[in-house]
Amino acid sequence: MKLYHMQAVALKTLLLSYVDDGTVMAQSKSLDENRETLKDAYAVLLHLFVAIGLVLEHSKTEYFIFDRSHSDYSPPIDLGFAPYTGENLLKPNLYWRYLGFYFDRKLLFHEHVRYYSTKALSSVKAMKMLGSSTQGLPPKEKRLLYRSCVLPIATYGYRLWYYEGARCKKALSLLKTMQRKAGLWITGAFSTSPTGGIESLAGLIPIHLHLQKMAGRANFRAATLSDTHPLKSILSQDHHKGAQPHPCAISQMSEAFKRKVKGTVMEIDRYLPKLTESFEPVASEAWPGAQLMDRFPDQVIFVLEIDNSINQ
């Protein structure tokens, strides 16, 4: 990686490596310029791999574009190897999967929500096999399974696309459809029953309110992070603590630019001053030997006997 940055310093690209996988990132205002930059960067990587006796598998190379324009133009990259083969021509993918997250070109995350809502719905349908063949699971157990096993799958990575000012109407409609079918499974109601009534009988909070609740908790949970956590380095100056400010931190933005930027980090930075309680990542009360049972073992009594008279 050091040799690459020395030889490709004029390209102004960023090389990220994860054991046996790597990513070259380039940013420009023109797709054609970006394409030529990536082509030159790939040629530098190929030269370095051949020089140290390694093989760069062209068939596994992927090409992805983040584009804010409304154009669907997707220019391929001709790597220019001789002799020419089909591997030389790289066409941009529609979606990019990274750490379980699905990125699309406009960062709308429709594919991400569609994938995980479908996966959650498949889990709901598979749960119909649980229980005996005559009676099945009671509604209370069905609701518990949905809340503990299905809902975390459906809301995986929701902070990527759910924040104040985000356009997530389509994503919420997919999740509402998933929860409606889960409510029908829990209550056993007719398919024509209204969604609000099904959710009320099943004891399920509407999905948009559930996401709003989790987002509010996630904003305040940032206060429990250590002072040197990487997230602290991209917040405003009041929340840096012991972390070194990042060049792209909120503290480096102008007030006019802050008003234009929307995202989860901006929401966290805006809501942290509203937190009145103080949190410590390593509180003294949590040390071994300092907890309640450790300090007052003789003053805590557990009664495990069952009073049969109450049951009668």
- Give the residues of the chain that fall short of pLDDT 50: 82-84
Q: What is the pLDDT of residue 87?
A: 58
Cα 161 to Cα 85, 104, 158, 236, 271, distances in angstroms: 39, 12, 6, 22, 18
Q: What is the pLDDT of residue 247?
A: 83
**pLDDT on residue 156:** 94
Give the pLDDT score at 307: 60
Q: How many of the other CB atoms lie within 10 Å of CB of 92?
A: 17
Residue 192, phi then psi, degrees to nearest 5:
-90, 5
Residue 83: what pLDDT?
Answer: 46
CA nearest to 269, candidates 280, 259, 283: 259
